[in-house]
Structure 1
Amino acid sequence: MGDVLAGIHATWEFESDALVIRFERGIRTPRLFQALRERRVPYEALASAVLAPGRRGTVVLHAVPRPGADPLMEAAAGQLKETCDPYRLVVPADREALASHWRDELAAVVPPGAADPDDRVDTGFLVAAPQGPRSFKAYDGKATFDGSSEVSFRWSSTMATSEKWKTGDQIFSVRELSGVEWRSPDSPGGFLRLLPRGGAPRTDPPDHDPASVVFGLGYGPVHDSLPFAAAVLSAIRAKDRAPVPAGAPDPGHRDPGAVAERIRHLGELHRAGLVTDEEFAAKKTELLAEL
């Protein structure tokens, strides 16, 4: 292959083993595309290729990803608007014949049976997670990911609920997580929730759940929070596949420095009268048990 198909906001390059999608940086380009910059999609990660009429004299070439192949689309869970779908290339209608040619070429390299909706990828994502961002500002705090092993939530002193403020800033080991739940900030009630490994799923509202950050107007936009969620999800899958080295620390135990910081924060709340003596003693015992 090695040929290129230029569209609106993106260019597709057809390599021998993968589709390389490069996004433009113009002011009209969706901000998610600008954040992604470039994506390399192995042909085995595709389920099908579809060409359909677009709007205002265009056609749309859609490389449909295989379920479970791309952490970005897995985290999005069908919530992306069509205009923000990185697998849709909008092409002027006068290039329809060329787009049709590449639709046929893509269809020819899609592995047989990949379109089966029950076909999941359980051995790791076939498409690499976005490179960034590793942090973003939510309505009630700041979410940060170190890129491999820890996610932290640092609460806003003015926006976080008292329940979150009393628990203190949170640090989550990727090994203790089973997944992420992302609800688009383009819809009311958007949030990012980290799902614990084992046990019952949390049912607390996101604004009361210390394993969640909530979005709002201008907070947690798609181009920041979705790549973040995809990066965390990819790290979780990688940890699932990686063996634990002999002598590695027990993932159920926290970093002593992080525990000490949370106890210090708890003491400040206690001195300010926001936490009772009983709550302080119980929470301190709980934190010490994590060591």
Structure 2
Amino acid sequence: MDELRGDRAVWNFDGEAVSIRFLTGMFKDDMLKELGRCTVPVAAVAAVDFELSDSKRKRWALRLRMHERTDPYTAVGAMLSEGSQPFQLVGPAKSELVAEYLADQIRFGAGRAAEEGARSERGSPGPHLATRLVPPLPLHIQTAEGTAAFDGSTVRLIWSGSSAGSRKKKAHRREYALADITGVEWVPSDGWEYGHLRLNTTEEVRPEVTKPKNDMACLLCDEGKEGAQTLMMAATITAHLWTRDQGTKGQLEA
């Protein structure tokens, strides 16, 4: 098994999947620390980028680019910082040869998986692979406003925290079936205002759209750990939405 250590994680590749263990510590990224581990099947990888820095501080960067509707973190975290990218690894020049070799091996494995998919008439990999890149269910997170929980079929929002407004505290909780959710938004805190997780829903169950602090489809989040956890929740729900949509499409085609 090939192993590569970078600034944020340790990658291991066995020919079939890249196992990623994110490093913990005071100066490590909050989202990656919360995620902890992740396994990326080569079938999910569309391309592998490898490049060297032109700066005086010689570094390399290795990045996995996923097939469409396979990377839920990028889908919901368009505002992710460079250091929060879970499928990018950066390291020092002394390990350049190992990093470039591993990039070639992953690229070869991804190409082989694509060829096998084409021969079996599966075509592009299904979005079910996205659920392998997110935390296992059930998933539960907590912010200063309350909690969010997802068990694969229902998202439950409970407002019981110190930051919850009177309207949400009075309502106390709302539940949304996955079948009624059309998408998820994640907006990080800017340091002055709260960020939030918002569920977009069908018209039948859509609450009044208002400011996040009063929106019954929103959970507010602060910086740091809270922002990281709400991003993980948004990515996890999105991954399961993709799988649901693919299943519905398959039933219609049948």
Please give the TM-score of this superposition, normalised by the length of structure 2. 0.77
- 1:110 is paired with a residue whose SS is helix
1:226 paired to 2:227: no
Structure 1: which amino acid aligns with 2:186? W
Partner of 2:197: 192
Equivalent residues of 1:137, 1:220 under 8 A apart:
yes
Q: Which residue pairs with 1:61 in the alignment?
A: 62
Partner of 1:37: 36
Equivalent residue, structure 2, for 1:284: none
- Residues 35 and 132 of structure 1 are in contact (CA less than 8 Å); yes or no, is this contact kept in structure 2? no
Give the alignment of 1:113-128 within 5 angstroms. 123-128=127-132
Conservation of the 8 A alpha-carbon contact between 2:152 and 2:178 = yes
Shift in Å at residue 139 of structure 1? Answer: 3.9
Bigger mean CA deviation after superposition, 29-38 or 121-130: 121-130
Q: What RMSD over aligned residues (CA atoms) do the two structures have, in Å?
A: 3.2
What stretches of structure 1 of length at least 5 have no aligned partner?
114-118, 244-291
Tell me if 1:212 matches 2:218.
yes
* Compared CA separation, residues 217 and 88, structure 1 to 2 (3 A): closer
User: Corresponding residue for 2:8?
Assistant: 9
- Sort the Cα spacing of 1:153 and 1:127 in 2 relative to 1 into closer, same or farther, 3 A: closer
Q: How many Å apart are 1:212 and its aligned residue?
A: 0.6
Letter aligned with residue 63 of structure 1: L
Assess if the C-alpha contact under 8 Å between 2:15 and 2:105 holds in 1: no
- Contact 2:43/2:125 (CA < 8 Å) preserved in 1? no
Q: Secondary structure at the match of 2:226?
A: coil
Matched, 1:148 2:177: no
- Match of residue 179, structure 2, among 170, 175, 196: 175
Call closer, same or farther: CA 1:20–1:219 in 2, change over 3 Å.
Answer: closer
In 1, distance between residues paired with 2:32 and 2:107? 24
- The reply on whether 1:81 has 2:85 as its aligned counterpart is no
Cα displacement (A) at 1:216? 2.8
Of structures 1 and 2, the larger Rg is shown by 1
Deviation at 1:17, TM superposition (A): 1.6
Secondary structure at the residue paired with 2:136? coil
In the aligned structure 2, how far is the partner of 1:232 from the partner of 1:90? 28
**How many correspondences in the alignment?**
235
Per-residue displacement from partner, 1:111-148 (whole Å, max 9, x unpaired)? 469xxxxx987643445122378233334322223x22
The answer (yes or no) to whether the contact 1:179–1:196 under 8 Å persists in 2 is: yes
CA deviation map 1:155-175 (0-9, x unaligned):
237533344344442122222
Residues 102 and 178 from structure 1, CA distance in 2 versus in 1: closer, same or farther, beyond 3 angstroms?
same
* In structure 1, C-alpha distance between the alignment counterparts of 2:214 and 2:35, rounded to whole Å: 31
1:207-266 deviation per Cα after TM superposition (whole angstroms, max 9, x unaligned): 2210111223567221x21222222223334444568xxxxxxxxxxxxxxxxxxxxxxx
Matched residue type, 1:31: D
Structure 1 residue 198: deviation in Å? 5.0
Aligned match of 1:264: none
Distance 2:245 2:207 in 1: 19
Map of 1:246 onto structure 2 = none
